[in-house]
Amino acid sequence: AKLLDGKALATKIQQELSATITRLQPHIGRPPGLAVLMVGDNPASAAYVRGKERACAKIGMASFGKHFPTQTTQAELEEVIHHLNQDERVDGILVQLPLPNHLDAISLLHQIDPDKDADGLHPVNLGKLVRGEPGLRSCTPAGVMRLLQEYEISLRSKQAVVVGRSILVGKPLALMLLEADATVTIAHSRSQNLAAITKNADILIAAVGRPELITAQMVKPGAVVVDVGINRVTDDSDNSRLVGDVQFESVANVAEFLTPVPGGVGPMTVAMLLQNTVDSYSQRLKTK
């Protein structure tokens, strides 16, 4: 299989965004700003947040890291979001998920100004996606679409199968594929005979969170396979490594295109987060 190199594309997008920032900054009078809210000390979340802040710095974007202790209350976080909504230096706000159990993520996301919703998870932006209107799009599905576009993989009239129906990945991605004129099937944990469904896919997306669930027998020869999954597994000698939802070695023998993990969808998610923030930033120019 040919690799869909998300890392290389993300680097290219970041260079383009950096140039856009250099061009716009004299007119707007400040760099774009992204606020990243994190609650508690989940090590995976902390690593993602560091990665996002590093990416901001690399392209000349200001990041405002807000790290709160686990016991922070819903009201305190809402207050912070209200401040950030008003803060002129901030173009994008994201809440790193998952949140500790006592917090209600959905109602917190509702508080974000939809125009600053860098993760594209506010109901207004999800509603715009359903209607096919322009708006801020969720980063991981947008990253998958951008990657397919870069490799000129046509979606029109193709059979696309999305395994996973989360609000973060599966559902919005299915809508984006539909918008691109694919015939879309969504499979999930209650689907029967998953292999029969995935085997029909010209474009197969795995967004499940089950290490190596998708094997070669489940893939149509010549298919495009995108692996969204990021799973940490430990082998017999206690070494830990990251694997996707797709069994890479076996599927590489049947698929025409395949994303690696890491280096596929992960870097594209970060690139789309930056893209969304720069898009909101450039809107400031229009309203100035």
- Enumerate the known binding-site residues for NADP(+): 164-166, 230
- Report the amino acid identity of residue 149: Q
Q: How far is CA 206 from CA 120, 130, 159, 171, 209, in A?
A: 20, 21, 14, 12, 8
Indicate which residue of 91, 115, 119, 227 is catalytic: 119
Q: How far is the CB of 261 from ligand NAP (least distance, A)?
A: 8
Indicate which residue of 14, 96, 111, 247 is catalytic: 96
Active site residue 52: yes
Contacts of residue 170, defined as CB under 8 A and 6 or more positions apart, other chains included, come to 162, 163, 164, 186, 188, 205, 207
Annotated binding site: 164-166, 230
68: phi then psi, degrees, rounded to nearest 5: -115, 150
The C-alpha angle 86, 89, 91, rounded to 5 degrees, equals 80
- Report the amino acid identity of residue 187: A
Q: How far is the CB of 276 from ligand NAP (least distance, A)?
A: 14
Name the packing angle between helices 6-28 and 43-59 (round to 10°).
60
Q: Which is nearer to ligand NAP, 24 or 56 (CB)?
A: 56
243: phi then psi, degrees, rounded to nearest 5: -130, 160
Indicate which residue of 5, 52, 171, 275 is catalytic: 52
Q: Give buried/exposed letters for 74-100 (b at 16+ CB in 10 A, else e).
A: eeebeebbeebbeeeebbbbbbbbebe
**Any idea which residue has 């890479």 for tokens?**
248
Q: How far is the CB of 61 from ligand NAP (least distance, A)?
A: 19
Q: Which is nearer to ligand NAP, 202 or 245 (CB)?
A: 245
Q: How far is the CB of 171 from ligand NAP (least distance, A)?
A: 8
Q: Which two tokens stand for residue 12?
A: 């290219």
Q: Which is nearer to ligand NAP, 165 or 220 (CB)?
A: 165
Q: How far is the CB of 155 from ligand NAP (least distance, A)?
A: 20
Q: Which is nearer to ligand NAP, 154 or 159 (CB)?
A: 159
Q: Which is nearer to ligand NAP, 120 or 164 (CB)?
A: 164
Active site residue 96: yes
Interacting residue ranges for ligand NAP, rule: CB under 6 A: 140, 163-166, 168-170, 187-191, 194, 207-210, 213, 228-231, 265-266, 269
103: phi then psi, degrees, rounded to nearest 5: -100, 145
Active-site residues, by number, are: 52, 96, 119
